[in-house]
């Protein structure tokens, strides 16, 4: 059973090679760091002062994550999840996949694991991008020193983990939708609508009920732009994720036509 | 509820022969009373009893929308079975689905290949699942003559190449049953010939059973050993190709056009042959040997009837096919 799942995962992993979803992950991960880097290089005269401060990493973190948490990450997950499902729709792949000797459970979770792995990959690449934003100007310009403050590994890891969990409900619901609708406009449209709805209600005290809002809520609460919530957003996020995955799994199994 | 009147009407002997054949041959696929409906309005399939013998090439024929793809999807488990039984390799498909699928290669409708991957990568995706030796990838690529496509993406392949790659995918794990749904769709005559030769090679060299669907009889008549004809969800004919040819003989007539067709009809009736009225009042008799034709001609002349024309009217297999499905020959 485990061996079958690993082989299934390997097979699914191969399918995303050179796919739009893969390029989206790479492009999405380096988009913000590239812009920040370009701005820093263009204004390299101000960098020595910026690099000397104690909260250099915290400032860079906030600067990088603000657009990522509110905008790029939710949109990236909505699009990448759909693109993974579209690999099958576009290439008439479902009927071939469903006639291979794998259980539907294996197929469902192998695909899910690929999407989760790509999400992890996005976060790793984004963090590498943040580090490069810090390091490259120092390497390019003699007047710019390397950051004096030590890299706060623990802070980075903890916040990365929190953002990862915050975004899982988006991934879960988008996966459910992408398996049900062949037309990519449906999952993408629903995803965008829910994301915008959540942004609109962000400052509402009960905004924690919206599954697409957690990364934004988390970021703004951490940076002090929104009051801290009394509820643990990550636990609610995990709950939503599990709910969406279970419902998505049942709906996938019950699908009449699997070809 | 709709019924298949035509299946009852059409040649009881063929069905008897099919029963005998069923007992004589091991069946690779057998469906009993397979019925399916997509909506509440009408059945897409009505009690289909498909019998595909082991080692044969079974041509599953029918016009577009007859129910071929639905039947094949049900056999492969792509559609949820609603009514009836499906046995593959003698076992119910829903009992040991994975073990059964391990021995089936399939191509349903349009090719299922990943356009952004090369031919080798497409096969690697399936090789991981089937866990067959990596060497099989090169073997099947050689078999379908795609070994030299290199780094070319499958999206850039011609339709014929895509079809051949799909067949390579279906053959990758060395299955004992191939289910191919209209594999020659959209191919030019040369492409059709290539696919036909490839499939013949497979049955001759490897003893694979093939169930192949098509909406055109001429496309597969040179290939198949057995035929099933379906229309509007009803299986109207099932038997060997020889059985179909027998039907062809029975549907063929010799037509006598004479100066007095009414008297000619009477004289031929009196001679012990059962005539029918042909076009423009001519007299038709079932196909008889040449000596009997000469005898009838002589009798007519002796009775002072001028014989203007004696012609044989032989229906080809395609006309028989259209007769079976109850539609006019184009």
Residues B120 and B227 in one domain: no
Nearest-CB residue to A93 (from B73, B109, B114): B114
Q: Give the pLDDT band of residue B18 (cuts 50, 70, 90).
A: low
pLDDT of residue B78: 92
Task: Tell whether B109 is covered by a domain.
Answer: no
Phi then psi for residue A183, to 5 deg, are -75, 115
Cβ pair B110:A100 closer than 8 A: no
Count structural domains, chain B.
Answer: 3
**What mean pLDDT do residues B226-231 have?**
91
Asked if A82 contacts A183 with a C-beta cutoff of 8 angstroms, the reply is no
Interface contacts (A, B; CB < 8 Å): 86
Residues B61 and B195 in one domain: yes
Task: Write down the domain spans for chain A.
Answer: 2-253
Nearest residue on chain A to B102, judged by CA atoms?
Answer: A101
Nearest residue on chain B to A89, judged by CA atoms?
Answer: B112
Q: Which of B55-64, B65-74, B310-319 has the lowest mean pLDDT?
A: B310-319
pLDDT of residue A1: 65
Residues B122 and B265 in one domain: no
Q: What is the percent of chain B with per-residue pLDDT over 70, rounded to a whole number?
A: 88
C-beta atoms surrounding A61 within 10 Å = 19
Q: Collect the ranges in chain A with pLDDT lower than 50.
A: none
Q: Does B322 touch chain A (CB under 8 A)?
A: no
Cβ pair A11:B128 closer than 8 A: yes
Residues B198 and B59 in one domain: yes
B105: closest CA of chain A, how far (Å): 8
Task: Tell whether B323 is covered by a domain.
Answer: no
What is the layout of strands, in order, in the sheet containing B177-181? B104-107, B177-181, B209-214, B57-61, B226-231, B234-240
CATH of the domain at B228: 3.40.50.300
Task: Tell whether B23 is covered by a domain.
Answer: yes
Task: Tell whether B56 is covered by a domain.
Answer: yes
Which candidate, A159, A127, A155, A115, places its Cα nearest to that of A24?
A115
Q: What is the percent of chain B with per-residue pLDDT over 90, rounded to a whole number?
A: 39
Residues B200 and B91 in one domain: yes
C-beta atoms surrounding A169 within 10 Å = 27
Q: Give the pLDDT band of residue B11 (cuts 50, 70, 90).
A: very low
Task: Tell whether B74 is covered by a domain.
Answer: yes
pLDDT of residue B125: 95
Residues of A with CB under 8 A from a CB of B: 7-8, 10-11, 14-15, 17-19, 87, 90-93, 95-103, 256-259
Nearest-CB residue to A101 (from B80, B101, B112): B101
pLDDT of residue B7: 46
Residues B206 and B223 in one domain: yes
pLDDT of residue A208: 83
Cβ pair A96:B106 closer than 8 A: yes
Q: What is the pLDDT of residues B251-301, one digit of tens each?
A: 778 889 999 999 999 998 888 888 888 777 889 888 778 888 899 999 999
Task: Tell whether B21 is covered by a domain.
Answer: yes
B103: closest CA of chain A, how far (Å): 9
Cβ pair B78:A258 closer than 8 A: yes
Q: Which of B153, B174, B195 is the last residue before a domain boundary?
A: B174
**What mean pLDDT do residues B59-87 have?**
91
Cβ pair B112:A91 closer than 8 A: yes
Nearest-CB residue to B126 (from A19, A100, A103): A100
Q: Which of B247, B264, B295 is the last residue before a domain boundary?
A: B247
pLDDT of residue A140: 87
A256: closest CA of chain B, how far (Å): 6
Q: Give the pLDDT band of residue B219 (cuts 50, 70, 90).
A: confident
| Residue B192, pLDDT above cutoff 70 | yes
pLDDT of residue A6: 94
Task: Tell whether B327 is covered by a domain.
Answer: no
ipTM: 0.87
Residues B11 and B98 in one domain: yes
Question: Could you list the residue range(s) of the whole structural domain that residue B79 is in?
Answer: 5-103+176-247
Residues B230 and B271 in one domain: no
Asked if B274 contacts B48 with a C-beta cutoff of 8 angstroms, the reply is no
Residues B284 and B194 in one domain: no
Contacts of A7 in chain B (CB under 8 A): 128-129, 131
Cβ pair B76:A99 closer than 8 A: yes
Task: Tell whether B203 is covered by a domain.
Answer: yes
Q: What is the pLDDT of residues B125-171, one digit of tens each?
A: 999 999 999 999 999 999 888 889 989 999 999 888 898 899 899 99
Average pLDDT, chain B: 84
């Amino acid at each position: 059973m485990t061996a079958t799942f690993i082989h299934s995962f390997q097979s699914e992993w191969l399918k995303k090679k050179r796919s739009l979803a893969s390029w989206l992950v790479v492009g999405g991960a380096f988009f913000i760091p590239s812009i920040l880097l370009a701005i820093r290089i263009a204004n390299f005269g101000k960098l020595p002062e910026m690099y000397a401060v104690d909260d250099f990493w915290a400032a860079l973190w906030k600067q990088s994550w603000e657009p990522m948490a509110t905008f790029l990450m939710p949109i990236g997950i909505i699009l990448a999840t759909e693109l993974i499902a579209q690999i099958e729709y576009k290439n008439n792949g479902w009927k071939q996949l469903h006639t291979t000797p794998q259980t539907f459970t294996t197929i469902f979770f192998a695909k899910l694991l690929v999407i989760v792995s790509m999400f992890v990959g996005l976060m790793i690449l984004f963090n590498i991008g943040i580090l490069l934003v810090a390091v490259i100007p120092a390497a390019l310009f003699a007047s710019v020193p390397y950051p004096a403050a030590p890299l706060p590994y623990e802070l980075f890891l903890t916040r990365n983990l929190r953002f990862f969990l915050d975004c899982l409900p988006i991934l879960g619901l988008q996966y459910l939708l992408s398996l049900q609708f062949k037309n990519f406009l449906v999952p993408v449209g629903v995803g965008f609508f829910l994301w915008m709805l959540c942004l609109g209600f962000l400052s509402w005290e009960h905004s924690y009920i919206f599954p697409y809002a957690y990364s934004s809520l988390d970021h703004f609460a951490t940076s002090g732009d929104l009051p801290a919530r009394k509820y643990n957003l990550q636990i609610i996020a995990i709950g939503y994720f599990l709910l969406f995955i279970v419902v998505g799994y049942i709906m996938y199994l019950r699908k009449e036509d699997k070809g | 509820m709709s019924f298949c009147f035509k299946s009852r009407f059409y040649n009881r002997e063929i069905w008897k022969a099919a029963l005998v054949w069923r007992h004589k041959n091991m069946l690779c696929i057998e469906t009993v009373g397979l019925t399916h409906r997509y909506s509440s309005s009408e059945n897409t399939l009505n009690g289909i009893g498909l019998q595909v013998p082991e080692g044969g090439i079974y041509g599953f024929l029918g016009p577009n929308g007859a129910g071929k793809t639905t039947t094949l999807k049900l056999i492969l488990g792509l559609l949820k079975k609603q009514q009836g039984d499906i046995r593959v390799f003698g076992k119910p498909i829903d009992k040991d689905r994975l073990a059964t699928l391990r021995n089936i290669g399939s191509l349903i409708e349009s090719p299922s290949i990943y356009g952004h991957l090369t031919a080798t990568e497409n096969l690697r995706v399936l090789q991981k699942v089937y866990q067959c030796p990596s060497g099989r990838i090169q073997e099947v690529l050689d078999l379908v003559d795609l070994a030299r496509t290199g780094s070319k993406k499958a999206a850039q392949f011609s339709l014929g190449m895509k079809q051949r790659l799909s067949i390579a995918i279906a053959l990758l794990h060395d299955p004992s049953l191939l289910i191919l749904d209209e594999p020659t769709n959209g191919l030019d005559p040369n492409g059709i010939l290539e696919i036909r030769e490839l499939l013949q090679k497979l049955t001759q060299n490897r003893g694979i059973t093939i169930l192949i669907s098509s909406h055109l009889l001429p496309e597969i008549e040179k290939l198949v050993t057995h035929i099933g004809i379906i229309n509007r969800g009803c299986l109207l004919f099932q038997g060997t190709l020889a059985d179909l040819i027998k039907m062809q003989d029975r549907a063929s007539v010799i037509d006598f056009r004479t100066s007095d067709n009414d008297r000619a009809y009477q004289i031929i009736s009196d001679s012990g042959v059962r005539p029918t009225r042909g076009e423009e009042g001519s007299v038709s008799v079932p196909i008889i040997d040449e000596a009997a034709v000469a005898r009838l001609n002589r009798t007519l002349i002796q009775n002072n009837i001028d014989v203007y024309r004696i012609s044989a009217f032989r229906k080809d297999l395609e006309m028989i096919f259209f007769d079976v499905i109850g539609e006019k020959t184009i």
